[in-house]
Amino acid sequence: MTRAAKRAAGADPRNARAAAYARYEEAIARAMTAPDPVEALRAAGRDPGLPAGVRRALLAADPDGIRMSALLVARLRFERLLRGCPEAEAWFDRDAADFSAAFRRYHAEVPPTAFFPPGEARLFRSWMARRG
Q: What is the pLDDT of residues 45-92, one digit of tens each?
A: 999 988 899 999 999 999 999 999 999 999 999 999 999 999 999 999
Q: DSSP letters of 6-64?
A: HHHH-S-HHHHHHHHHHHHHHHHHHHHHSSSHHHHHHHHTT-TTS-HHHHHHHHHS-HH
Instruction: State the pLDDT confidence band at 121, using cuts at 50, 70 and 90.
Output: very high
For residues 32 and 84, membership in a common domain is answered with no
Q: What is the pTM of this model?
A: 0.80
Rounded distance between C-alpha atoms, residue 31 and residue 35, angstroms: 8
Q: Judge whether 68 lies within some domain.
A: no
- Give the chain's domain count: 2
Q: Are residues 102 and 126 in the same domain?
A: yes
Residue 113 has pLDDT above 80, yes or no: yes
> Which range of residues forms the domain containing residue 23?
1-61
